[in-house]
Structure 1
Amino acid sequence: MSEAYITRIAKFLPNKSVSNEEMEEYLGYINGKPSKSKAIVLRNNGIKSRYYALTRDGAVTHTNAEMAAEAVKGLFQDNPGDMAEMDLLSCATSSPDQLMPSHGSMVHGSLPETGPIEVVSPSGVCCAGMHAFKYAYMVVKLGEKKKAVSCASERLSSVLKADQFEEEIQQLQRLEQNPYLAFEKDFLRWMLSDGAGAFLVEPKPNTEGISLKIDWIEGCSYANEEEACMYMGADKLEGGTLKSYKDYSIEEIKEHSVLSIKQDVKLLGEKIVKLGFAKLKEIMQAKGLTMNDVSYFLPHLSSYFFENKIDDFFKENGMEIPKEKWYTNLVTKGNVGAASIYMMLEEVFNSGALKKGEKILLAVPESSRFSYMFCLLTVC
């Protein structure tokens, strides 16, 4: 088998950064009033700025596919002609612009510089970006592709706008009647961000500068034993099952806010750390590795609230990794879902700080139904 290397990384962020104070100017005020939960959520998640594919008055500036295409173009900005040599496009998102055609096909449609190539579209939530990356890694390692691109992008700002909440206020006043419902929806408004990232995966490292050798990518799901924690396009029933939007009338979709993204906050806090990071311990032991082998630890965090939870788990399980080895850009970029890990690695890769031989551990927990992806890279 061939080896596989990340040789280039690029990102795309729409418009200018949006501060905490400006958020509701872009997303709008629910019922014309400032959010009651905003200050609490922001204090816990630690985010100071994020990016929206929106103007200040809420008009859309970019589609999801357009942002992904811009990230892909960024890989080839120094050598635009190389884009014609791309032989795979693997695109992930949890927020496609449409149900059909696939997100990957729409991104490919925004890249006329490419040829007729293989396109795949892993779906999911935060782990989807890693699934897209693993597909690119595998086909290069098998020798089937020579210039594979994986990409992850999100555009969730449009479903966070105030008008997505107005139906409940006007018809049921549920935000007053059921404060928990208000929080499970409003909670995510202050977490999520828009943007895209892309990796170029090749069978040989760069002749100049650094590359990242892909040592391994491992994942696992606990959906066989855990109910859904974050969901969209469905409503959660008693007993934990999901009822699809397809099984609701148009009126019921509005009434139950079925197309909104929701988070079961209690379930999230109970499960997200202990399930996946116990699996990481197993993976590290099986591969004969310890945290002493790791130079940089890049965890995808939805909130800084979970940073200490992960750190505590590591300490309790003999996996302690000094905080100076941790890196996240959540404070400045927000939670960009499937694209977050791409954006973090892009900043580290292009920082000039990496030295050959150093190892980078990526960790992506996904609360949707508790899935996890881990990856080890070696600077070369």
Structure 2
Amino acid sequence: MKIKYINAVFPENMVDNAQIDYLPDKWSPEKIEKKLGIRTRAIAAADETSADLATRAARQLMEKHQISPESIDFLFFCTQSPDYFLPTSACMIQNNLGLPTTCGAVDFNLGCSGYIYGLAMARGMIDSGLIKKAIFVTGETYSKFIYEKDWSVRTIFGDAATASLLTSDNDTFGDDRQGILKSMNGNIGNFNLGTDGAGWENLIVPYGGMRQPTGSNEEIESDNGSIRRAGDLYMHGSKIFNFTLDTVPIAVEDVLVKNSMDLADVDLFIFHQANKHMLSALMKKCEIPSEKFYVNMVEYGNTVSNTIPIALQEVWEKGIVKKGDRIMLVGFGVGYSWGATIVTLD
């Protein structure tokens, strides 16, 4: 299976560090950028949903690269902020894009590892011959889960959506084009996938599902001085950090073995853009040279399942990578869930 093209979109409303209220005295806008590596993030409007953003990302992808709706066999949508419990948001997006009724469509609920899992599922369907072309869309509006006084997560997360065109290995669509319109032809290698549900409580939106539809809106003050409401997004930062440092290096080693590679064989590493502090620690522990470790969250923040495709699109369009390069993609986070694979540019 190949990644042919990627397109990313963002809400119009950009929020910089100076616009975040309720910061404690010791946290300045400059300190946020220095520690987290984030200067701005896009925030969805009140009436703007993940499906709206996903539709825009996919529509732009199709228009820019002259992709016929009739050629699409399947639509995948990764989101943790769907428009409704039901119907499936992917069905709405299929209708918005005018894809044929012969096109399958499905949502799946994963966060920061979602892009890797979506590639794995799509590869299984494409390699088996069940489908030939798919659009894989990621979309998140985590900002809608975040309380305005909770600066600990407001500083980190941003909203976005991406759309990727996935095809079979022998599909030549776009190969004759030049410049940034030329197809990426990112061949997907073997995968490392893993789950540790013991950490499910450490990154959670407690209210809204069937376990606890509603509850108290009392304010809760954390040890760091941030304030959230009982039902809003909660992240236990230190436990997430420790999980990541324990798990990701093992995943990196495993995916290298599964693709018959050594660390030095990888030309570029694109990890989920969690925050600068976490990525710096991972780079050091995995012994990855800094010049091979891509970081691009300064303008976007942590956009959950969108961070990897946003970065992959950037390095392709900016000419940072070239034909023959091998890129390691690693996602990790909420669940706990993680995944990794190798993309080779053909």
TM-score (norm 1): 0.79
Partners of 1:81 and 1:340 in 2: CA distance: 24
- 2:271 aligns with 299
Kindly indicate whether residue 8 of structure 2 is the aligned counterpart of residue 8 of structure 1: no
Kindly indicate whether residue 181 of structure 2 is the aligned counterpart of residue 215 of structure 1: no
Partners of 1:276 and 1:216 in 2: CA distance: 16
Cα offsets for 1:243-285 (capped at 9, x unmatched): x864558453657734311011221232212222213213323
> In terms of mean alpha carbon deviation, does 298-307 or 247-256 score higher?
247-256
Partners of 1:133 and 1:14 in 2: CA distance: 25
Partners of 1:93 and 1:248 in 2: CA distance: 20
Kindly indicate whether residue 195 of structure 2 is the aligned counterpart of residue 231 of structure 1: no
Query: Unaligned regions of 5+ residues in structure 2, if any?
Result: 177-181, 221-228
Q: How does 1:1-380 map to 2 (within 5 A)?
A: 4-15=1-12, 17-22=14-19, 24=20, 29=21, 34=23, 39=28, 41-54=32-45, 60=46, 62-80=48-66, 82-162=68-148, 185-203=150-168, 204-205=171-172, 206-208=174-176, 209=182, 210-223=184-197, 225-226=198-199, 228-234=201-207, 246=210, 248=212, 250-252=214-216, 257-315=229-287, 321-366=288-333, 368-380=334-346
Which letter does structure 1 place at the counterpart of 2:194?
C
Cα offsets for 1:323-347 (capped at 9, x unmatched): 1111121111111001111111111
SS at 1:333 equivalent: coil
Does structure 2 retain, via aligned residues, the 8 Å contact 1:272–1:370? no
- Cα shift at 1:305: 0.2
- Percent sequence identity is 20
SS at 1:280 equivalent: helix
Cα offsets for 1:38-68 (capped at 9, x unmatched): 53655421101111123xxxxx252210100
Which letter does structure 2 place at the counterpart of 1:306?
M
> In terms of mean alpha carbon deviation, does 257-266 or 188-197 score higher?
257-266
Which letter does structure 1 place at the counterpart of 2:202?
C
- 2:225 aligns with none
- Cα shift at 1:207: 2.3
Alignment size in residue pairs: 327
Does structure 2 retain, via aligned residues, the 8 Å contact 1:68–1:107? yes
Partners of 2:214 and 2:199 in 1: CA distance: 29
Which letter does structure 2 place at the counterpart of 1:196?
A
Does structure 2 retain, via aligned residues, the 8 Å contact 1:93–1:103? no
Does structure 2 retain, via aligned residues, the 8 Å contact 1:38–1:190? no
Larger radius of gyration: 1
What's the RMSD between the two structures over aligned residues? 2.4
Partners of 2:199 and 2:254 in 1: CA distance: 20
> In terms of mean alpha carbon deviation, does 76-85 or 117-126 score higher?
76-85
Partners of 2:251 and 2:292 in 1: CA distance: 21
Question: In structure 2, do the counterparts of structure 1 residues 37 and 338 end up closer, same or farther at CA, with 3 Å as the change threshold?
Answer: farther
More helix by share: 1
